[in-house]
Structure 1
Amino acid sequence: MKFTSLLLAVVSFFTVALAIPVNLDKRDVFVPPILYPHSGTVWTINERHNVTWDTSNAPVNITNSKGLIMLRKDNMATPLILAEGFNILLGRFEITVPWVVEGDDYSLVLFGDSGNWSENFTITGSDISF
């Protein structure tokens, strides 16, 4: 009796599971290459810059179209989020260069569907004196 009840429960579960409509639209991962900043770029703390990326090969259906830009240093992500929640298909987004230690080993990570990072560039101090 227990076996029959268990078998009936399993069959019922699979019958219901198979009856649920599933959206099978094909979705593609979009990894747009970052165009700016690039190697040789020098940013100064507190300046505003447009981070730009190539959207010319964007697929029709993108898995995640909400973008996020983070700063990397020494090829490691930092907790600094420079922008978030923008449409990845914009191809650019303006950010303010954060107060960080000067160096030439910075890069940006552009998240949407996938993470893509820029070439290394330099961040220098500002002209503000105290």
Structure 2
Amino acid sequence: MFTKTLAAVTLGALGMTAAAPTREARDVYVPPVLYPHAGTVWFSGQKHNVTWDNSNPPKSISNGAFILLRTGTFETPVVLAHGFDLRAGRVEVTVPEVITGNFSIVLFGDSGNWSDDFLINGVDF
């Protein structure tokens, strides 16, 4: 700590500043999920298009996209889709075999956002 302070004081006395490392500016893209929405019912094994508003994407999207299944406040390890282009506005997924319950999907790219809760009719124990 003393060394950093001494270096800053010395540079300041000489009229110099230590340059901070520059980082490339990144756009954060958080497109709202349109489907599934509240009131949606999926059944295990079906195929559905997860859709989102892609009307205003940034010029550059820095991360790969993927969709996870979420229950309550927890993301499950269930990956519904990955490696798709966020600019597409939709991707087809297959509804996994899960216990019947309320879920949401999490759309990841530069940021994560999730859909409304919806019902998946899956397996019952």
Q: Same fold (TM over 0.5)?
A: yes
- Distance in structure 1 (CA, Å) of the matches to 2:70 and 2:32: 16
Runs of 4+ in 1 over 3 A off after TM superposition: none
Other-structure match for 1:119: 116
1:51 aligns with 2:50: yes
Work out whether residues 75 and 107 of structure 1, in 8 Å CA contact, stay in contact via their aligned partners in 2. Answer: no
- TM-score w.r.t. the length of structure 1 is 0.74
Q: How much does 1:57 deviate? A: 1.6
- Distance in structure 1 (CA, Å) of the matches to 2:103 and 2:60: 32
Other-structure match for 1:14: none
Say which is worse superposed, 33-42 or 55-64, in terms of deviation. 55-64
2:87 alignment partner, SS class: helix
- Distance in structure 2 (CA, Å) of the matches to 1:23 and 1:101: 44
Task: Select the structure of larger CA radius of gyration.
Answer: 1
- Which structure's residues are more often helix, by fraction? 1
Residue type at the aligned position of 2:97 = W
For residues 36-115 of structure 1, the aligned pairs below 5 Å read 36-64=35-63, 66-103=64-101, 105-115=102-112
Q: How much does 1:23 deviate? A: 7.8
- Distance in structure 1 (CA, Å) of the matches to 2:115 and 2:72: 13
Say which is worse superposed, 40-49 or 71-80, in terms of deviation. 71-80
Q: Percent identity?
A: 54
Q: What runs of 5+ residues in structure 1 fail to find an aligned partner?
A: 1-17
1:16-54 Cα distance to aligned partner (Å, 9 max, x none): xx8xxx784x43110111000000000001000000000
1:89 alignment partner, SS class: helix
Q: How much does 1:63 deviate? A: 2.6
Q: How many residues align?
A: 107
